Structure 1
Amino acid sequence: MNFDEQIVEKKQQKQKLLDAMEIKKEIFLEELIKFTSSWFEKETLSTIKDNPEKVIALGEHKARELKVNLKEVKEKSPELVQQYMEEKHLWWHTNEDRESYYKSHRVMAKHEKQIKLMFGELGNILIQYGIVKAGSEYDRKHSSSWIYIDRNFKKVQYGYGLSFPEELSGITNEYRELIMKAQDINQDIEELEEKKKRHSIEDWWASL
């Protein structure tokens, strides 16, 4: 088998891995929608219970309005996951970054960061109605579950660590394993192309 044939074969192997990664991504997003919806509900109830005076102070009309808005953001979980998690830089098979990957039972840091930002959609509503306040990345004196991540105090993210279900961490680990296999194939392709180049110059030199 010549170099070109070997390279084509390796690229075909890699494409199968990329296709498998896309499937893993879709499964991850489906599970994330469930987690997001559940998390919104739990965080809403927890916040309301922790701040009864502020909720009662809203009055019946405003409290009902708040409840409707919080329910709507929970129901928007599928759209929010699509909006926040479809960005190409978040997925190796759509950007092929040069990061090193290894087996781990944690959700990827860049995914967790984006999920916290997505959860800020809930925080924005709670802040808007005065139920909670947000701290700032640039001022750690104020402790809060919510943090402004920009100097204009517009982008809010959840400020604490998240405990993800095993389904999400398991799918992430399977995705990582596919990345590592694809990175190995990329290395093989680079080596084959380098050998091909050297072989070509040898043939050319011999023909002079």
Structure 2
Amino acid sequence: MNKQIVLKDDTGEFTVSIFQPPGASRTVLFAVGGGGNPCRHMPLLNMLAEQGCTVIAPHFERITSRLVSATELAMRIRRLRLALDFAARAEQAIYAVGHSIGSAILIGLAGGQMWMHDGKKLDFEADKRIERMVVFTPAMDFFTVPGALDEVRTPMQAWAGLLDSITLPSQTVFLKNTLGSLVDARFIEGAGHFSFMNELPPNVVDTIEKREPFFAQLNLEVSKFLFS
């Protein structure tokens, strides 16, 4: 059910994990965070596949700078779109799930204008095929220019950790305040930036002690929002 394929764009090859259960009736695009390895979210990806989804999860090099470059961001956007075009079936509904910078990219694909730290707008084509999305710890600094979210019409569930010091909970508050009823915002007591990753990065200790029940409830809420 889980396989890895290699795709190629004009800058080189990249790996895509694809979960394709028999009789899959819908598609989920997964956009990983700065670490670049979607396999750190394996239980979530498996849960989505068990719900009858083809899950498409491109791998990326780790972003090492605190300020992501326009080149890195454009490459991730391009490769997410290439992977989706390769593996998605035209007749299937498409959903999306992302973490951190991956969440920001999904909001951009939904029509958000992404503005870089140098004041320049990143130009790329939106992908209105995505019907619903779940965003964990969305990085909203790209969208603070007035009107940047005016074209976004995609319902989304947004999760924030109240102890997140990387993408502050205020960024999810901004998303909710700007898009209103389109956003089902969830603020989790005791959660940090990496609490939404099943496999933590090296040397990171999560602030949520009982992770198994947390992920059981998280996966249930994600599934209900996307597919109910």
> Is the TM-score greater than 0.5?
no
Q: Looking at both structures, which has the greater relative contact order when contacts are Cα pairs under 8 Å and sequence separation is at least 6?
A: 1
TM-score band (shorter)?
Answer: under 0.3
Larger Rg: 1
Higher strand share: 2
Higher helix share: 1
